[in-house]
Each structure stands twice: as C-alpha cells, then as structure tokens.
Amino acid sequence: MTTPSDLALVPFVSVDHMMGLVHHIGIEQMLIDLAAEIEADFKRWELFDKTPRVASHSPVGVIELMPTSDGEMYGFKYVNGHPKNTREGLQTVTAFGLLADVNTGYPKLLTEMTILTALRTAAMSALAAKYLAPKGARTMAMIGNGAQSEFQCLAFKANCGIDTVRLYDVDPKATLKCATNLRGTGLTVVSCDSGESAMEGAEIITTCTADKQYATILTDNMVGSGVHINAIGGDCPGKTELAAPILHRSEIFVEYPPQTRVEGEIQQLDPDHPVTELWQVMTGAAEGRRDARQITLFDSVGFAIEDFSALRYVHRAIQATRFFTNLDMLADPDDPRDLFGMVARAAPGAVG
Ligand code: NAD
C-alpha cells in the first residue's frame, strides 16, 4: 500500500539512469515509442493547457520554461539555448523536467532532459515526416552535425525507413563525429563538403544548426520541388535557418502557432501567413502532403506537449527498473499542519 510518506519521495532520473534506460529499451525502440506517445497526445490536443514558453533572453542565449497540463498531470521543462557554449566545452542545449499530479500537486518525477530532449525532438521530427515526407523517401540530408544530429538520423531510420544520411557541417570535426557514431547502425552514411552536395538525391532535408542570428543554411536555389524540410535550428527570435523565398514556396506545418510565429522560421513572414497545425493533420482535420511536387516544411521549435509526452513515457518506463533514485525533496510532516514542529524536532539534541 502507498503511504503518504511514499508519496513524498520523488523518483529522480539522473543522466546515468537515462543512459541506462535508453540502452535497456534500445534507442530505436525508444524513438518509436516516443513518437507514438507524442502522436497520441497531439490527437487529444484540445484537452491541454497551452501557452507559449516563457523565455528569458540574454545577448548570448536563452533560458526557457515550458509548462503544460492535460488536467490529470502537469509537466514543465527548463531548457537553455546557448550557441556559444560549445566553444567553451559546454552543451548548446541542456534541460531537466518535472511531472506532477494535478490532484495533489505533488511531483511524480524529476528527470534530466538533455538526452530526453534530443530523443523527443528527433521523435517529433520523424513523426511530422511520417505525415509530410514524400512517399518512399530513403535519403535524408543532415545539415548541422552537432548534439542532436545522430538522434535525428536514427529517429528517421526507425520511424520513416530512411536508409541513407548525407552529412554536412561547417566544422568537419562535427561531421566526422556524427559519421563515426552512426557506424554500425545500419544507415549508409555519406560525409559531404557542402550543403549543396549533402542535398543531392535527398527527399528529406533536416537543418539542425546553432547560431544566434538570421542564418541562411538553405538558399532558395538549393531546394527542389517535392522535398520535405525538417527545420529544427531556428527556434528563437532572431535565429532562423532558411531563406525567406523557400517559405513562400512551401506548405508550412507548425506545432503551436502563437509560439512558432515568434520563434520559428515564420517569424520572417507576415503574422497572418497561412500555416497548418500538425495536430490537425494527425486527427485528419487538415491535409498533410497533397502531392509529389509540393515542398512541405516542418517549422519545428519544440513545444511543451512533446516534453509532457516524454516525461509521462519515462515515468511509466522506469517502473520496476533500477533507473531512478527516490529523492527526499518534499517536506512531509506526520501532521500536515506541523511543518514547524518537524523542523524543531530535527534540531541537534532535540528529543524525539
Ligand atoms: P550543437 O551546437 O551541438 O550543433 C550545431 C552544429 O551546427 C554545430 O556542429 C555547428 O558547427 C553547426 N553549424 C553552425 N552553423 C552552420 C552552418 N552554417 N552550416 C552547417 N552547420 C553549421 O547544437 P544542437 O544541440 O545539435 O542543436 C542544434 C539546434 O537545434 C540549436 O539551434 C538548438 O537550439 C535547436 N534545437 C531545436 C529543438 C526543437 O525542438 N526544435 C530541440 C533541440 C535543439
């Protein structure tokens, strides 16, 4: 039986635990599971509390809080984005998250989310491509070969049947790292020396670069008809990856418009430029890809519901495993109103 004091212990998934869980489940299986979890939540989109993430910008980066609730559980993620960090030996993106019971307000899970964000972002990208990419797509260009890149490649393999990835990064060391890490995964990996060359024969183009500026990773003439673009790196005001003319030639799909209009590629467009919400494609209320010549664009910025799905998945997945420790992080006096007494009795030398 669960006692009130059991409820006060919060399972904590450390980085070590998360890595253990990934290997226990298998990374490709986890990318499939997470895509299914996100899809199920997107299909009940209207039920969720939704708000654009709360961002605190500085000249070098951003720190964001991403909350949501389905009425039963509440989740939030803390995440940063600091493109300069890699030059200092630090990660561009780090994160942790919390899941709580709406009924009691008690936290149910605290977890690292740097690895989990890479997994959920990759799962979300592949899920969008399932609805938007041209039929039978086998080759993906992967532009930007940093921390997210291998997760992206494996998610597209596991969920969409991609068998070849063509890598490009301005830093050849990043491409070498990515190619080395993907060895033995079953993917055919081609390292390229330009974005143009990476895109040769690619039906899907993923851009996943980090720079705090309006960058032009793809120019208009690089993008032929019929491709699907998975644009991940443009996710902050003043931080984009695609030349505006590409946006005018594309059918654009987004997570949550109030957030994407500020943070996504579409910040370059008029505020009323038509976009389609992905949840509507998933429920059948809106069309995904209509024909083979169309350019589809997933203008990904990352939305709180994806993190909520990932948190709930991890909460379930760790049950009956050793991939967590219980944290004593909620004060829990025997008499709920005697918080002071609990503190007083803990004084050195105090009697019982
Ligand atoms: P990272 O810093 O580890 O990797 C970025 C890579 O991009 C680096 O290897 C860098 O050399 C390369 N790059 C920079 N400019 C380039 C250019 N012009 N052409 C080719 N390569 C270039 O960062 P990361 O953790 O892999 O994240 C990548 C981006 O994805 C970031 O901008 C991050 O904010 C974003 N992101 C988005 C989501 C989402 O949900 N949409 C989630 C996580 C991260």
Q: Can you give the pLDDT at residue 198? A: 97
Span from the CA of 241 to the centroid of ligand 1 (angstroms): 10
Largest Cα–Cα separation, the chain: 79
Cβ pair 85, 91 in contact under 8 A: yes
For helices 27-42 and 149-160, the axis angle rounded to 10 degrees is 70
- CA dist 289 and 296 (Å) reads 7
Cβ pair 157, 163 in contact under 8 A: yes
Paired residues of 13 in beta bridges? 111
3-state secondary structure of 218: strand
Q: Can you give the pLDDT at residue 1? A: 45
Closest CA to 292 of 157, 62, 136: 136
Cβ pair 108, 73 in contact under 8 A: yes
Tell me which residue has its CA closest to atom 8 in ligand 1.
146
Probe ligand 1: pick from 208, 239, 240, 278, max atoms within 8 Å of CB? 208
- CA dist 17 and 325 (Å) reads 9
pLDDT, average across residues 141-167: 98
Q: Which atom of ligand 1 is nearest to the CA of 146?
A: 4
Span from the CA of 92 to the centroid of ligand 1 (angstroms): 8
Name residues contacting ligand 1 (CB within 6 A): 81, 86, 92-93, 117, 121, 143-148, 169-171, 174, 208-211, 215, 217, 232-233, 235, 300-302
CB-side neighbour CA atoms (13 Å) of 15 = 5
Tell me which residue has its CA closest to atom 17 in ligand 1.
170
- Mean pLDDT, the chain, whole residue set: 95
Cβ pair 19, 295 in contact under 8 A: no
Domains of the chain: 4-115+306-335 (3.30.1780.10), 125-302 (3.40.50.720)
Torsion-angle region of residue 26: left (phi > 0), alpha (psi -120 to 50) or beta?
Answer: left
Residue 36 in tokens? 């299914």
Tell me which residue has its CA closest to atom 1 in ligand 1.
146
For the chain, give the percent of residues with pLDDT over 90.
Answer: 93
pLDDT, average across residues 105-125: 98
Spatial CB neighbours of 140, under 8 Å, sequence gap ≥ 6 = 153, 156, 162, 164, 165, 166, 202, 203, 204, 205, 206
Question: Does the pLDDT at position 3 exceed 60?
Answer: no
Span from the CA of 343 to the centroid of ligand 1 (angstroms): 47
Question: Does the pLDDT at position 205 exceed 60?
Answer: yes
pLDDT single digits (tens) 249-268: 999 999 999 999 999 999 99
Probe ligand 1: pick from 93, 180, 197, max atoms within 8 Å of CB? 93
pLDDT single digits (tens) 176-197: 999 999 999 999 999 999 999 9
Cβ pair 155, 122 in contact under 8 A: yes
Closest CA to 33 of 279, 312, 280: 312
Angle (CA) 47 52 56, round 5°: 145
Q: Which atom of ligand 1 is nearest to the CA of 232?
A: 41
Residue 183 in tokens? 């060895």
Active site residues: 235
Probe ligand 1: pick from 91, 232, 278, max atoms within 8 Å of CB? 232
Span from the CA of 199 to the centroid of ligand 1 (angstroms): 17
Q: Where is 217: in which H helix or E strand?
A: strand 214-218
Span from the CA of 171 to the centroid of ligand 1 (angstroms): 12
